[in-house]
């Protein structure tokens, strides 16, 4: 991932300590990564899921500090993993190093549970944001108001449930992603006997009847699903939707599956000005996440 990203954008990589930093630097040197664009930050973490516990950047026009970020409460995906809750502090440590303002919100939210089009629309799921293990004191309309306030959006689209094997209670980044302000990709299962089939059909149909913040109908592009992948008898949440959009490339997960080429081809058509790169994620997905889950984009500061 670093080798593909560093030629196009600055990459910040968290390391636990000095020993780890030296090891990582040696690995990157051996892999011939563009080290001039790689910064290693010594911030200890329990695990790699930066999208969920890390900062979510926002931009503000006509501000002295146009770039800032939101820091929500991370509770280990609804209290499932107590040890992981230690990563809740990581966002503030990043803020101290990058010297950016932080907006603190007393609301449980993970970055992988929201998807925005950059123009005023937010996608999320009922399974996750309305789950009693997140914010049982908040009603649906109160959560919508919170999203509008914290993300600067005006329109919320609710999908239903996520894919099988997803321990995050249905994160949106395994289901549907914006590729343009009015274009969204949505994973669809072709096998009607698969346990994902009905959930994904429901999400696809909801998107087809949805509009963006301007009231324009969305263009919905179907992404295939890979065949089920299992680890120790448990199904893993493998999804082609868990891609990361970078400056010059799009990094997409692949799984040694016949649908890999089809998914990459669809994404390449949607990103004609970027090179779509498939990265094998069979081992990564054993941790129940993929490329989007371990990344967090930092926007360029807007002009005031």
**Catalytically annotated residues:** 293
Which tokens sit at 264?
């990459």
Pairing of strands 38-42, 11-15: parallel
Given a contact cutoff of 8 angstroms between Cβ atoms, the answer to whether 275 and 204 are in contact is: no
- Which burial class, exposed, middle or buried, applies to 166 when counting CB atoms under 10 A from its CB (0-12, 13-18, 19+)? buried
Instruction: Characterize the bridge pairing of strands 176-180 and 234-235.
Output: unpaired
Strand partners, 231: 234
CA 238, CA 285: separation in Å to the nearest integer? 6
Cβ-proximal residues to 169 (8 Å cutoff; 6+ apart), any chain: 77, 78, 127, 128, 131, 133, 134, 162
């Amino acid at each position: 991932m670093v080798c593909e990203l560093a030629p196009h954008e600055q990459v910040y990589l968290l390391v636990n300590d000095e020993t780890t930093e030296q090891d990582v630097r040696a690995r990157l040197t051996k892999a011939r990564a563009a080290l001039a664009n790689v910064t290693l930050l010594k911030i200890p973490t329990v695990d790699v899921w930066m999208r969920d516990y890390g900062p979510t950047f926002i931009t503000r026009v006509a501000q002295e500090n146009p770039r800032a970020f939101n820091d929500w409460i991370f509770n280990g995906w609804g209290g499932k993993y107590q040890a992981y809750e230690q990563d809740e502090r990581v966002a503030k440590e990043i803020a101290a190093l990058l010297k950016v303002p932080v907006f603190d919100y007393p609301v449980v939210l993970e970055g992988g549970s929201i998807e925005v089009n950059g123009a005023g629309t937010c996608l999320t799921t009922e399974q996750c944001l309305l789950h009693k293990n997140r914010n049982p004191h908040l009603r649906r309309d109160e959560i919508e108001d919170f999203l509008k306030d914290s993300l600067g959006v005006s329109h919320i689209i609710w999908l239903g449930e996520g894919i099988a094997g997803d321990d995050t209670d249905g994160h949106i980044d395994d289901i549907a992603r914006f590729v343009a302000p009015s274009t969204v990709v949505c994973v669809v299962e072709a096998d009607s006997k698969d346990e994902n089939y009905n959930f994904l059909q429901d999400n696809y149909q909801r998107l087809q009847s949805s509009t963006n913040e301007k009231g324009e109908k969305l263009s919905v592009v179907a992404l295939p699903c890979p065949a089920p992948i299992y680890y120790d008898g448990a199904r893993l949440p493998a999804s082609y939707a868990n891609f990361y959009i970078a400056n010059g490339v799009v990094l997409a997960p692949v799984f040694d599956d016949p649908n890999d080429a089809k998914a990459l081809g669809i994404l390449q058509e949607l990103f004609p000005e970027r090179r779509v790169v498939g990265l094998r994620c069979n081992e990564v997905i054993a941790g129940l996440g993929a490329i989007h889950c371990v990344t967090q984009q930092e926007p360029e500061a807007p002009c005031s």
